[in-house]
Each structure stands twice: as structure tokens, then as C-alpha cells.
Amino acid sequence: MYVSKIKKCICVALCAFLLCTFLPTEKAEAAGFTVSVDSVSGTVGQQIVVPVNFNDVPSGGISTADMTITYDSSKLEYVSGAAGSIVTDPSTNFAINKDKDGSIKALFLDYTMRSGAISTSGTFANLTFKVLSSQATTAEVAVVNATFGDNNLSKISANVQRGNITLNNGASTQPTTQPSTPPWTQPTNPPQNSAGDFSVSYSQNSWGTGATVSMIIKNNGSSEVNGWTVNFTYGGNQKITNAWNCTYNQSGSSVTLSNAAYNASIPAGGSVTVGFNISYSGTNTEPTSFSVNSSSANPGNPTQPTTQPTTQPTQTTQPTTQPTNPPTTSGFTVYVDSVAGTAGQQVVLPVYFANVPSSGVSTADMT
């Protein structure tokens, strides 16, 4: 079902962006909207996560986003891509795949064109690469040929900032803006975990078989903490599939998250934010008990519902007969069939194409 929806999303998105590009639509105001690729670092053989971020998202939200992401395939191998924490209903609205070596296609389309627009700043996508080069060098990851639109199909302009990936401690070009996650540099003396007073906030965007989780670990103590490890246990069969801004280990339902090299230190009163994707079946109850550096942590207030609805929609019978009112015209015709129903019943109204031209119909946009 999700595959079918994604295919529909892609078809609708192509129509939408053709309209945005070639028709004289009014341009939506979004002077500060920025798409940026974080600058990180890694060594040969290592897998690294490169976030693609949306900043200063316009008040009307982003309903459509279509982009190509380029990278140097001689230095980096694309492993996978995942929706970030700001993407709504990613199993339906988001798709990403490698077009060819050095090129990734990412697509977002609010399938409702009403309520699922991206409305907050944050991570749009997380790209996982394997470092191929053993040389001390840099590699650029860039967003190109990007188009964005609101729910009226009005085009939204965007500033685009590239990311520089430092490989094997190679010299890199200083980015023009501060990345949301500092470049990853391996410390010469790894920090030792220290106990303290912590709180953990766990929130998730769940879609029935998976979820994107955001966790905030806050240091409530009066001194800086160097190195942190969070432990918690799931109540179901949740399984972490990938993570960013941390490393993770899962054994059954027990999960351990540890700092990355660049965010080991949490100042007094400060916090770090990490994220990961999970898959599951059945219910997805959020954990409520956490320990940080072997000390109990006060849970934050979750913002997302913890369980999925149990009531299934009433089944409807799909029409199996030919339309009752076939068209009488000879040209290409779109019409809605006439059906019957009683109070409380769900009915299906087919929309038909008749006399489709021999060259086919490649795009269709209707209200």
C-alpha cells in the first residue's frame, strides 16, 4: 500500500513541479528559507551521517520539495537515506534513492496537500555514506536543482548551502555558516563519562510501522559533563534502524546511546539533541525510564501519541461492474459514476477516464 502511495506521490509531485516551474504562479515569500548540508568528518572505512537541514521554514509550510543531492563517488559511497525529524508521515510523503553514482534524488510531497506540510525547522533527511578515500582530503555534498512549493503550488525560493566532508583529517574549506552539528574530530583523549543530574525528553513522529525519534539529554547539574551514555528499555519490539548525533547499541529491547566525538561535552544547564529511526509492529509505547551515566534521569514530556488507533475503518465494497452512466461523447472524457447508498453506509465513487488518446495521459491535476 505504501509503495502505491509513494508512486502516486511521485506522479503528483512531477505534475506539481511542472506547474510550479512553467506556469506563471505567484511566488511565495520565504526570503530566509535555507537548505543546508552539515559539514562532518570521517576516516576511511567509516560510515558517516550527513544531515540535510531546513532552516527558517516559511509560516505557510513546505508542501512539496524535490531535489538532487550530489557527492563525489570516488571518495564517498552512498549507503542509505532516511527522513529527518521534521518530515510528516514519511512512509507516504517521503522518498529517496540513488539516481546514479554521485547523485541522489529526494522527494517530499504532502499527500493531503492540506495538513501534512513541513512547518518547523530541523533535519529534512539523513544521508549515510561510507568513506572510500584513504587520502587526507575533502569531499563536497551539495543540494542542486531543488524546487519547493506550498499547498497552493506557489513556488518558494530557497538559499542553498553546501557541506564539506573532511576525510582522514584532511584540510577543509571553512563553511560560510556554522553547521547545526560541529565537524566530527576524534579527540586524542576520549572523555570519561561522569555522573550528574540529567533529564531526558523523548518525542516521536510515528506512522504505524515506524517512527522518527528525537531525544534531548539535558545536564541539570552545576558542572560540565564530559561523555554521556543513555540507557532505556522498550516495552515492545521496537528496533533502531539508524541514528544521528550519537552511536547506538541494541540488545533485544535494551538500548544504549552514547555521545559522538563532537558532542561529548554538555555544559551545566546545556543539552544535546540526538535522533534515530525505529521500526516496529503493534503498539509503539514510548519509554519513560532513562538512566544517563548510570544515574536515573527525569523523563521529559512526550509530545506525540504513544499508541496507534485500534479501531479499523469500516470496510467498503469496491465496485466490480462497469459504470452505470457511460459517456456519450466521442472525445477524451473524465466523469464521475453515479452510485447509490443508505444512511451510515460508505460508498465508493469511481472517477473514470474514457476515450483516452492513443498517446496516453502522462499528467493529470484536478480538484
Domain boundaries, the chain: 2-167, 198-299, 317-367
pLDDT along the chain (367 residues), means of 10: 52 51 45 88 90 91 92 93 90 88 92 85 92 92 92 87 88 44 42 66 91 92 91 95 93 94 89 93 93 75 42 45 55 79 78 81 73
Q: Provide Rg for the chain, Cα atoms.
A: 24
Give the three-class secondary structure for 9.
helix
Q: Torsion angle of alpha carbons 131, 132, 137, 138, nearest 10°?
A: -50
Same fold, 2-167 and 198-299: yes
Element spanning 22, H or E: helix 2-22
pTM (two decimals): 0.46
Residue 296: CB partners within 8 Å, gap ≥ 6? 289, 290
What pLDDT score was predicted for residue 300? 52
CA distance 130 to 78: 7
Nearest to 283 by CA among 312, 252, 307: 307
Q: What is the pLDDT of residue 74?
A: 94
DSSP assignment of 221-234 = SSS-EE--EEEEE-
pLDDT tens digits, residue range 95-125? Answer: 998 889 999 999 898 888 778 899 899 999 9
What is the Cα–Cα distance from 39 to 52, expressed in whole angstroms? 10
| CATH class of the domain defined by 198-299 | mainly beta
| 172 close to 135: Cβ distance less than 8 angstroms | no
Calculated CA dihedral for residues 303, 305, 306, 310, nearest 10 degrees: 180
Q: Say how many C-beta atoms besides its own lie within 10 A of residue 200's C-beta.
A: 23
2-167 is classed in which CATH architecture? Sandwich (2.60)
Closest by CA to 234, choosing from 258, 216, 211, is 211
In angstroms, the CA 238 to CA 254 distance is 10
**What's residue 299's pLDDT?**
62
